Chain A
C-alpha cells in the first residue's frame, strides 16, 4: 500500500468515525428496515435527545434494579402487511416480539401491555382473531397482558391495525455481554422463514411456496439453554429486522472483534433458499421472528446444542461461526464455494433485484 492510498483510507476512517447524520428530509422505509439507515436514525435523532446509561447500549431491553429485584423492560411495535399470514398474524408477532426481547436479555417475561391503533372501518371480526391469537401467544409464553390502550384513527390514516406491546421481566442470569475470541456463534433454527413468508404473502411477487412464519416465543427455549450451560452465555439477540447478518454486525462492532461465519453451517430451508435465489436476496439479511443468535464459550457448545435440539423450537440449532480477534468489527463469511467475503450492514430492506 503506498502513501497516497493510505492517506485516502485514513480519510475514510475519519469520516466513518464522525457522528452519523440523517441526510434525508423525509423518513423512508429504509429507516425502518433495521440496517444502516435505522442505526443512523436511532443515533442521530433518538439517542441525541434520550441518551442515558440504560438506553445507550441499545440492547434489546433495558436492565435495572428496583428494590433488589433485577428487571428487564422493553417495547416492540408490530406493523405488518398482510395482518394474517401462514404461520401467524400481527397478534402473535406483537406478543412474541416483546417476549423475545426480554428472553434474549436473560429475563423471564412477566407482564405485557398492549396498545392498539385501529383504522376506522377495521372489521371487529379481524380484531377478535388478532386478540385471540395474542391470548394464545401469551399463554404459550406464560405471560399476562395486564394493561392496554386503544386509539382509532380515520380511514386511510393507518393500515388496519397496529399493535405496540411493552413488557417487564425478571432477570435471572443475564448474558455476560463480553464476546471473546474463540467463542462459538449459534442460531437456534433455520433462518429467514418469517421474512420470505411475508414477502410471498403480500402477493406482489406472485410466488408460492409451502412456507410459514417462524414466529414463536423463545423464553422457554432460552431458559433450557441457560440451565444447560450456566455462565457460558456471552450474548443473545433475536434476529428480527435485518436478519442474522445485522445482529452479527452489531455484535462484532460492539465488541471490536470479528465474527467468521461458515455458510455451509447456516440452516436455511430449501424454499427460503429458492425464493432468495429467485429474488436475488441473501437469506442472512431476511427477518426471523422466532430465532435467536447466541454467542457462548467454546467449551459449552455440546451442552448448548444438546439442550437446544431437545426443545421443539431448537431442533435445527447449529453452530454457524466463531468470534475472532481480527479484523475488528467485521463479519466475514466463509462461502460454501470455499471463498471469503465481508457481510456488511444493509442500507435498507433487502429488495428483490434483477441484476
Chain B
C-alpha cells in the first residue's frame, strides 16, 4: 500500500532506533506524550516500544474521542436511541463504550434501533430512505471528524432533510492539552502532536505549548516510522535546548491546516462553555455544539434529553495516569472497582488504554515478550 508500507520498514527503523539511542543523554530519562489515540494504536499494533531505549517513556494521552465521552452523555444517547421513532447511528468505536447503564450494544440488545455507519453521510442516507423515522447521528471525534459532521449538516439543510439530527459530542484537543500542561506535577518533556487533527487546524495553534510551557511538539504521522522520526525530532530539540513546533507529517499536514474544514465547523458549530471529559473532569471550551441557526439538526434541542450526569467515582485517578504522574497499578481503584469488564475511567475503556493494557499484560514484561519472540 502506497504511503503506508514505505513507513513500516524494519531496516529503516533499526537505523532510526540507533540514532534515537545515541541522542539520549546518559542518566537522563525522557517522557513524551502521544496526545492522539491513533498514535497509541500505532505504537501497540506495530510493537514500536521495542525500538525505544529504556530511558524513553511514552505516555498515552487523552486523544481517544470515545474513551473521553462521560458516562452521562452515553446514557443520554441511549435515552435518545430508545425512543421508538429514533434510529441512532454511530461509528463502530462507540458501540462498546459503557455509560452508567450499559453501552450501545446493550441498548441494541434491549430493543433500541442502533446502526453502525462508516460515515455521517451514510446516516444521512438512512434518513433519506426512511422519512418516517428520526435519524440521530452520534457525533464523536476531535477536529478531524467535526468537519465531516458539519458537512453532513450542511448537506441535510441544502437537501431539506428534516428527519436528521446530530447528538454532538465533538471535542477539541487544545483545551485538553492545556489542562494537562497546567497540572502542577507535570512530568512531560514533549508532545507527539496529533497528525490528523492537524490536517484541519494546522500547526500554528500549538505555538503556546512551546512558547508558554517550554515543551517541544512534533506533529506526527501514523505509521511507525513517522512516530520514531518524531521522537527523534523531539530528542534533537531537547539536545539543542529548543522547544519548537515542528511538522514531521508534511506529506499530509499543511502548516496552516484546511481552511474550508475550519470554515464549515465555524459555520455550523460553536464552543460549549464547558464539557466533561471522562477521567479529566470539566474543561472549559473543550467541546462543540450546533449553532442556533442549526437548532433543527441538534438532537439535544429536537428531543428532550435528560442531561444526566454520572459522576466519575472519586477514587478514579485516570487524570493522573493520563498525565504520566501515576502508573496504572498505583491507582486506588485499579483492578478492584475498575477492570476491563467494568471500566470506570478512560484508561480502562479502550483496550489500548494504559490501564486496560496493564491489566491484561502487565505481568508480561517487555523483556519477557522480546525473549519469547527472539
Contact = CB atoms under 8 A, between A and B. Distances in A.
Whether A and B touch directly in their complex, counting CB atoms under 8 A apart, is answered as: yes
Contacts of A48: none
A354 B91 contact: yes
A355 B141 contact: yes
A15 interface: yes
A354 B145 contact: yes
Contact of B93 (A11, A12, A23, A351): A351
The interface centre, meaning the residue of A26, A333, A341 with most chain B CB atoms within 10 A of its CB, is A341
Contact of B335 (A12, A27, A207, A338): A12
Interface in A296-355: 324, 326-327, 330, 332-342, 344, 347-348, 351-355
Contacts of B109: 24, 26-29
Given A327-B364, A339-B48, A8 B372 contact: no
B93 A353 contact: yes
A192 B91 CA distance: 22
The interface centre, meaning the residue of A5, A11, A333 with most chain B CB atoms within 10 A of its CB, is A5
A149 interface: no
Interface in B26-60: 37-38, 41, 44-51
A110 interface: no
B364 A334 contact: no
The interface centre, meaning the residue of B51, B65, B327, B329 with most chain A CB atoms within 10 A of its CB, is B329
Contacts of A341: 44-47
Contacts of B336: 11
Give the interface size bracket for B toward A.
35 or more
Interface in B1-41: 1, 4, 8-10, 13-14, 37-38, 41
The interface centre, meaning the residue of A4, A30, A348 with most chain B CB atoms within 10 A of its CB, is A30
B37 A355 contact: yes
Given A340-B369, A341-B45, A347 B91 contact: no
Interface string B358-374: 01111111001111110
A204 interface: yes
Contacts of B45: 282, 335, 341
A9 B92 contact: no
Given A273-B1, A348-B105, A340 B373 contact: yes
B356 to A, nearest CB: 10
B110 A204 contact: no
B96 interface: yes
A260 interface: yes
Given A324-B372, A337-B8, A29 B108 contact: yes
Given A28-B108, A338-B13, A341-B47, A351 B92 contact: yes
A354 B8 contact: no
A354 B141 contact: yes
B112 to A, nearest CB: 11
B116 A326 contact: no
Nearest to A334: B373
A258 interface: yes
B304 to A, nearest CB: 25
B224 interface: yes
A28 B116 CA distance: 15
B339 interface: yes
B10 A336 contact: yes
B207 interface: no
Contact of A5 (B14, B38, B329, B373): B329
Interface in A140-183: none
Contact of B64 (A27, A204, A336, A355): A355
B65 to A, nearest CB: 6
Contact of A28 (B63, B93, B105): B105
A326 B49 CA distance: 20
Contact of B118 (A25, A273, A279, A348): A279
B4 A355 contact: no
Interface in B84-105: 91-93, 95-96, 102, 105
B329 A4 contact: yes
Contacts of A27: 109
Contacts of A66: none
Given A204-B115, A327-B369, A338-B10, A30 B105 contact: yes
Contacts of B38: 355
A17 interface: no
Given A5-B329, A273-B1, A335 B362 contact: no
A231 interface: no
A63 to B, nearest CB: 32
Nearest to A321: B373
A277 interface: yes
Given A8-B329, A340-B47, A348-B96, A23 B341 contact: yes
Given A27-B109, A338-B10, A354-B141, A8 B46 contact: no
B122 interface: yes
Interface string B284-327: 00000000000000000000000000000000000000000001
A206 B372 contact: no
Contacts of B47: 333-335, 337-341
Contacts of B370: 340
B220 to A, nearest CB: 15
A254 interface: no
Contact of B4 (A277, A324, A344, A348): A277
B368 A327 contact: yes
B362 A352 contact: no
B334 interface: yes
A205 interface: yes
Interface in A218-264: 258, 260
A342 B369 contact: yes
Contact of A326 (B48, B50, B66, B368): B368
A28 B106 contact: yes
10 contacts: A4-B330, A23-B341, A326-B372, A330-B372, A332-B372, A338-B13, A340-B50, A340-B369, A342-B361, A344-B361
Interface of A: 1, 4-5, 8-9, 11-13, 15, 23-30, 204-207, 258, 260, 270, 273-274, 277, 279-280, 282, 324, 326-327, 330, 332-342, 344, 347-348, 351-355
